[in-house]
Every structure is written in structure tokens, then in C-alpha cells.
Structure 1
Amino acid sequence: MTIATAFAAPTKFSTSNAEMRIRVLNLYRRYLRHSRSFVNNYDLDVPASQVKTKVRQEFERHRFVDDLAVKNVLYMKAQMEFQELVNFWKQTCHVMKYFEPYQSYDNTATDSFVQKFLKGTS
């Protein structure tokens, strides 16, 4: 059993890039430390190393954001996502969406009717 507020972080607006960098690195380390528990709790059929790689990719996607206000919003979203993962508020299918290739959404011409229906594009 998890306590809902165990991993909650207060909403705090970072006023400098240096402060934001420290907060993001700490959050990144928390994700990496919990990667094995994500695999075990959600019964994922991917190794913990692949989870760590995916976490790194998600953080790298926003690496070159310059606006501090945008960084604050991205940090809060990542913090909320972490809390939902740790507290087991997601289902396995929600977690596995992170491991789908992005190009799978672009192949609507070659998909069968059932694949289009399941994606909601038919």
C-alpha cells in the first residue's frame, strides 16, 4: 500500500536556471532509482535498462527549452507523472504507451481496418 502524499512535491516556481537544473537532475535520479520498481509493479515486459533509456529520452526531448516558465511547467508535469507511477495510479497499458514507436501513428495507409479502429483513426 502506498501513501498518496509520500512522493508529493510542493508546487514551487524556480526563479533561476541553476535552481531548475538542480531540481530536474534530482527528479531524473528519482526516476532512475525507481525504474526497477516500475517494471515490477506494472509487470512490464521490458527490462529496467530499457525503462531507464526511455526516461533519459523523455528528459532529453526537452533539454534545449530556454523559457524558464515553460521549464517550470514541464517539471511539474514530470513530477506529477512520477507520483502517479510510484503510487500505482496508472494501468500497465498507460505505461506501455511510452514504449510504442512514434512512427506507428503515421502508418494509417498500411494499417488494417482493425488497427485503424483501435487507434481511433477510421
Structure 2
Amino acid sequence: MLHCLSLAPCSSHVTSREVFKLNGLTVAILIKLFLGIGLTFNVLGTIALYRFPDVYTRLHGTTKCTTFGSIFTSASVVVYAISKYVTTGEPRFITFTIHVVIAIFALLITNPTGAHAIARAA
């Protein structure tokens, strides 16, 4: 149990779960923001595929944009899972968050590596 966070005397007690509980509207806005940013990057990657003149600049544009688009989309999933864990306390949401974070790190490693290998072969 934690006491009130103010300096004034307080008669009610606040649990640690209530301290870290996120407002539902804030979580929804954050999720929509991350999804919007991810969608924007993926659309920019599609435009780069058609707009740029040669294979190297097309590869550069699509790799950067799809990497960031996937990361922000995955970040929205992480925010959702953490908010569900805070409200329900079910450990499956922590497991889900760990899996998504591992997938983000895999994207950070494999997307640039794959683009480099394709560029060397072109």
C-alpha cells in the first residue's frame, strides 16, 4: 500500500496498481496515434516504391518506411497489452508484450540486413 502522493495528510490509501493505472481515453489516443504514425510510414513506403527512379533509392525508401511503420504499429499493440495488464492483472498480457518487443527487435535487425543483401545483389 502506498500513501497519498501529496504532502498533505491523507486518510485514504492508494494501491500501486491505482497509481500506474492509465486513463482509458489516454490509452485510446496513444494507440490511435501510434497506428496513425505507422500507417503514414507504410503509405510513404508505398509512394517511395513508385516515385523513386532506380532500385537503390526505392529499396532505401521502402525499407526505412516499412521498418518504422511496423515498429509504430507494434508499439500500439504494446500499449494496448500493458493497459490491459494494468486493468485486469492477467499475466498473459505481459507475455504478449514480451513477444511483441522481441518481434520489434527482430524487425530492427532483419529489415536493414535484408535490404543490404538485396542491394548488393542488384
- Tell whether the structures are fold-level matches, with TM greater than 0.5: no
Larger Rg: 2
* TM-score of the superposed pair, with normalisation by structure 2: 0.33
* TM-score of the superposed pair, with normalisation by structure 1: 0.33
Higher relative contact order structure (alpha carbons within 8 Å, sequence separation ≥ 6): 1
